[in-house]
């Protein structure tokens, strides 16, 4: 793939993250972004250009009918000074799954990986090294045809930008979160697009998220539309740990995102490092399990959230149910530490999980 490169002018360059600086999640940017357009049935004009505003018509279909989706991945700097991406091939695969759900064009996985690795290479000095930080990668695609008919667009933009980031939740791993179990709000429905990373799924979660915050919780734990089983939270899959140390993750359905972190946890179990399996989780049994002590830990998993322990659940009647002593449990801690130390290169990761970002020759034009 030919990728054009236009270097960011010195005056427009962003400040690189300083060691120890508090970064927040998703706030900072780097100097460049990747862009390509889909027109006349082909992807064209692949380029890395200075990070900046995008131009499209007011009738661009993504603005009206939300034909858009995104991905989220992370890169880390290792002790050898090199940058490694975590399971980016899985993100590329899911990117094309989301494209399919939204009637949008595919992008060859190898092309996605090259685009992202080249962009990271150019802005490699922005990869932070402080604890719980990463270079967050945000690929996304949106419909740009200026037309008001409700049908798939004929034109799209693929964009990737990077964000030197700290933990998703303030306080990071060491602050267990509170989740509101809601029977009034639902994130996705059977036959819908909940298994994809459509922007619309996140728009649908905003009102519920606000309600959760007003109730004193961090996020909503969504149930299926029949309100019988646990699905997932707004930005992470859900897990709980039984007394014997087994992680239980609800099976992926067409209303649950197939989390790459959850899949990684299940793969760690296949390697014998932990015990984990997927099985439907009835909400009534889940609450009873916490109360009886059969469930000893619970939490969320995701790229941004990593492993986020849940200290307590809030029910809609205001009752709060604390998981064990409300503190981080040893099983969640083990998985968090194992996962992050693989990501940081301190523990060997299974073959192919970490991919070194190559040093490419970059010439303008
Ligand atoms: N579920 C939802 C709704 C998400 O937005 C995310 C974040 O990507 C996840 C789960 C976790 O998925 P992953 O581990 O692939 O980041
Ligand atoms: C991620 O974990 O990468 C996500 O996409 C979550 C995001 C909504 C913050």
| DSSP string across 168-185 | SSTTGGGS-EEEEEESS-
Average pLDDT over residues 34-57: 98
Residue 155 and residue 44 share a domain: yes
Residue 231 and residue 116 share a domain: no
The answer to whether 109 and 87 have CB atoms below 8 angstroms apart is: no
Residue 171 has pLDDT above 80, yes or no: no
CATH label of the domain that carries residue 224: 3.20.10.10
Q: What number of CA atoms fall less than 13 Å from residue 187's CA on the CB side?
A: 32
Q: Name the band, by pLDDT with cuts 50, 70 and 90, for residue 234.
A: confident
Is 159 within a domain? yes
Cα–Cα dist 269/144, whole Å: 43
Cα–Cα dist 225/190, whole Å: 8
Which alpha helices (DSSP H) does the chain contain, by range? 61-65, 88-101, 109-122, 199-214, 260-270, 283-292, 330-343
Ligand 1 atom with least separation from CA of 303? 16
Cα angle: 137, vertex 141, 143; to 5 degrees: 160
Predicted local distance difference test score (pLDDT) of residue 173:
83
Predicted local distance difference test score (pLDDT) of residue 174:
85
Q: Name the band, by pLDDT with cuts 50, 70 and 90, for residue 268.
A: very high
Residue 89 has pLDDT above 90, yes or no: yes
For ligand 1, atom 11, the nearest C-alpha belongs to 302
Is 24 within a domain? yes
Is 106 within a domain? yes
Predicted local distance difference test score (pLDDT) of residue 342:
98
Which of 17-21, 144-148, 270-274 is predicted with the least confidence, judged by mean pLDDT?
17-21
> Which residues are CB-neighbours of 72 under 8 A, at least 6 positions away?
91, 136, 137, 138, 197, 302, 303, 304
Average pLDDT over residues 25-45: 97
- Centre of ligand 1 to C-alpha 363, Å, is 36
Residue 309 and residue 209 share a domain: yes
Average pLDDT over residues 80-104: 98
Residue 92 and residue 182 share a domain: no
Q: Which domain holds residue 119?
A: 4-11+20-170+349-356
Top pLDDT among 1 and 43 is at 43
Is 364 within a domain? no
**Burial category of 303 from C-beta neighbours within 10 Å (exposed 0-12, middle 13-18, buried 19 and up):** buried
Residue 172 has pLDDT above 80, yes or no: no
**Whole-Å CA distances, 251 to 227, 231, 236, 301, 312:** 16, 9, 14, 14, 22
Among all bound ligands, the one having the nearest atom to the CA of 88 is 1
φ, ψ at 141 (rounded to 5°) = -135, 140
Predicted local distance difference test score (pLDDT) of residue 317:
94
Q: pLDDT per residue over 131-141, tens digit each?
A: 999 999 999 99
Residue 229 and residue 146 share a domain: no
- Centre of ligand 1 to C-alpha 236, Å, is 5
In 3D space, the residue among 68, 86, 88 whose CA is nearest the CA of residue 77 turns out to be 86
Share above pLDDT 70 across residues of the chain, in percent, rounded to a whole number: 100
For ligand 1, atom 9, the nearest C-alpha belongs to 236
Cα–Cα dist 62/142, whole Å: 6
- Centre of ligand 1 to C-alpha 153, Å, is 26
Q: Ligand 1 pocket: which of 95, 237, 263 to mutate (most atoms <8 Å of CB)?
A: 237
> Which residues are CB-neighbours of 167 under 8 A, at least 6 positions away?
25, 132, 133, 173, 306
Provide the domain count of the chain: 2
Residue 129 and residue 248 share a domain: no
Is 252 within a domain? yes
Residue 312 and residue 197 share a domain: yes
CATH label of the domain that carries residue 160: 3.30.470.10
Cα–Cα dist 259/327, whole Å: 24
Residue 265 and residue 193 share a domain: yes
φ, ψ at 15 (rounded to 5°) = -80, 130
Taking CB atoms and a 6 Å cutoff, what residues make up the pocket around ligand 1? 72, 232, 235-237, 257, 259-261, 301-303
Predicted local distance difference test score (pLDDT) of residue 8:
97
Residue 218 and residue 151 share a domain: no
The answer to whether 236 and 202 have CB atoms below 8 angstroms apart is: no
Paired with 241 in beta bridges are 247, 297
Taking CB atoms and a 6 Å cutoff, what residues make up the pocket around ligand 2? 72, 202, 235, 302-304
Average pLDDT over residues 168-179: 87
Residue 166 and residue 184 share a domain: no
Is 274 within a domain? yes
Average pLDDT over residues 274-292: 98
Q: Give the chain's radius of gyration (CA, Å).
A: 21
Is 361 within a domain? no
Is 336 within a domain? no
Average pLDDT over residues 169-194: 92
Q: Name the band, by pLDDT with cuts 50, 70 and 90, for residue 31.
A: very high
Q: Which helix (H) or strand (E) holds 161?
A: strand 156-165
Residue 79 and residue 25 share a domain: yes
- Centre of ligand 2 to C-alpha 202, Å, is 10
Q: Ligand 1 pocket: which of 70, 92, 221, 261 to mutate (most atoms <8 Å of CB)?
A: 261
Q: Name the band, by pLDDT with cuts 50, 70 and 90, for residue 362.
A: confident
Predicted local distance difference test score (pLDDT) of residue 70:
98
Residue 154 and residue 38 share a domain: yes
């Amino acid at each position: 793939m030919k990728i054009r490169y236009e270097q960011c002018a010195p005056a427009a360059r962003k400040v690189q993250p300083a060691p120890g600086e508090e970064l927040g999640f998703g706030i900072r940017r780097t100097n460049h972004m990747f862009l390509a357009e889909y027109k006349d049935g082909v992807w064209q004009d692949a380029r890395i250009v200075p990070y900046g505003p995008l131009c499209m018509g007011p009738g661009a279909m993504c603005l009206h009918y939300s034909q858009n989706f995104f991905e989220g991945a992370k890169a880390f700097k290792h002790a050898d000074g090199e940058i490694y991406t975590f399971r980016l091939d899985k993100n590329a695969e899911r990117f094309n799954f989301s494209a399919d759900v939204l009637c949008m064009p595919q992008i060859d996985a190898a092309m996605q990986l090259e685009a992202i690795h080249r962009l990271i290479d150019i802005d490699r000095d922005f990869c932070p090294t402080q604890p719980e930080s990463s270079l967050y990668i945000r690929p996304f695609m949106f419909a740009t045809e200026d037309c008001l008919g409700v049908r798939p667009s004929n034109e799209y933009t693929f964009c990737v930008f990077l964000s030197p980031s700290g933990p998703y939740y303030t306080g990071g791993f060491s602050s267990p979160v509170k989740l509101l179990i809601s029977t009034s709000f639902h994130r996705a429905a059977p036959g819908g697009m909940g298994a994809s990373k459509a922007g619309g799924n996140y728009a649908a979660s905003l009102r519920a998220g606000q309600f959760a915050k007003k109730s004193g919780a961090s996020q909503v734990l969504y149930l299926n539309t029949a309100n019988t089983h646990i699905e997932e939270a707004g930005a992470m899959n859900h897990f709980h740990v039984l007394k014997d140390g087994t992680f239980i993750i609800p099976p992926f359905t067409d209303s649950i995102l197939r989390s790459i972190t959850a899949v990684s946890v299940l793969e760690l179990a296949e390697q014998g490092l932990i015990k984990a399996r997927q099985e439907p989780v009835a909400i009534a049994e889940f609450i009873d399990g916490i109360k009886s002590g059969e469930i000893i830990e619970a939490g969320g998993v995701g790229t941004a959230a990593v492993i986020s322990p849940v200290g307590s659940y809030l029910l809609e009647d205001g009752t709060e149910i604390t998981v064990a002593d409300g503190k981080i449990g040893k099983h969640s801690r083990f998985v968090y530490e194992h996962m992050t130390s693989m990501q940081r290169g301190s523990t060997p990761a299974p073959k192919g999980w970490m991919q070194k970002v190559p040093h490419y020759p970059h010439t303008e034009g």
